[in-house]
């Protein structure tokens, strides 16, 4: 049984091209996030963590508003479906904001080379929550779980050695 009511049918498996584009976006996000951690660490000596998190989230929100406004204006279906997903989007935003604030606090108190690998354990939590909350929508195969585990294991080995 699902914890959250998800009304989407199981999507068709993505094509090889779509998977490749997804991986490219994922690596781009990893590069962006890694860069943001180093920049954040550089600022934590000069800025209170919660103020820094607020500023980062403000400009992130501003950027998203600019990028998403065009989509909302052009695609009526997006506007109509927005109401269905808004509680999930709000919840995701709150958790994301909490993650950013906690990252600022962690980087203020620790070294980026130690904190960053710990932050990189998030795929384990993503998989665990996907198994519980997205049952019937997303398939988490043993191969995917093993791959995420190996990534995290590699990160742990790099941070300990």
The per-residue pLDDT for range 142-155, each reduced to its tens digit, is 898 888 888 878 87
Instruction: Provide the mean pLDDT of the chain.
Output: 80
Does the pLDDT at position 133 exceed 80? yes
* The predicted structure's pLDDT at residue 11: 60
The span from the CA of 149 to the CA of 101, in Å, is: 26
14 alpha carbon, distance to own chain's centre? 20
32-36, 54-58, 94-98, 142-146: lowest mean pLDDT where? 32-36
Q: Give the C-alpha distances (Å, rounded to integers) separating 63 from 35, 39, 153.
A: 17, 18, 34
The per-residue pLDDT for range 59-99, each reduced to its tens digit, is 888 888 888 877 777 766 555 667 777 888 888 888 888 88
What does pTM read for this prediction? 0.66
* The predicted structure's pLDDT at residue 1: 44
* The predicted structure's pLDDT at residue 48: 84
Does the pLDDT at position 47 exceed 60? yes
The span from the CA of 20 to the CA of 18, in Å, is: 5
By percentage, how much of the chain surpasses pLDDT 90?
Answer: 1
């Amino acid at each position: 049984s699902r914890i959250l009511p998800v009304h989407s049918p199981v999507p068709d498996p993505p094509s090889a091209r779509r998977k490749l584009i997804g991986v490219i976006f994922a690596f781009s996000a990893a590069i962006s996030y890694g860069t943001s951690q180093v920049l954040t660490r550089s600022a934590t000596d000069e800025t209170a963590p919660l103020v820094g998190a607020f500023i980062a989230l403000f400009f992130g929100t501003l950027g998203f508003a600019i990028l998403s406004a065009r989509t909302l204006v052009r695609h009526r279906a997006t506007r109509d479906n927005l109401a269905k997903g808004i509680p999930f989007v709000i919840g995701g935003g709150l958790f994301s904001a909490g993650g950013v604030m906690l990252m600022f606090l962690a980087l203020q108190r620790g070294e980026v080379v130690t904190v960053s690998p710990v932050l990189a354990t998030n795929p384990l939590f993503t998989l665990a929550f996907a198994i519980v909350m997205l049952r019937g929508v997303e398939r988490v195969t043993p191969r995917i779980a093993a791959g995420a585990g190996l990534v995290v294991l590699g990160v742990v080995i790099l941070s300990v050695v």
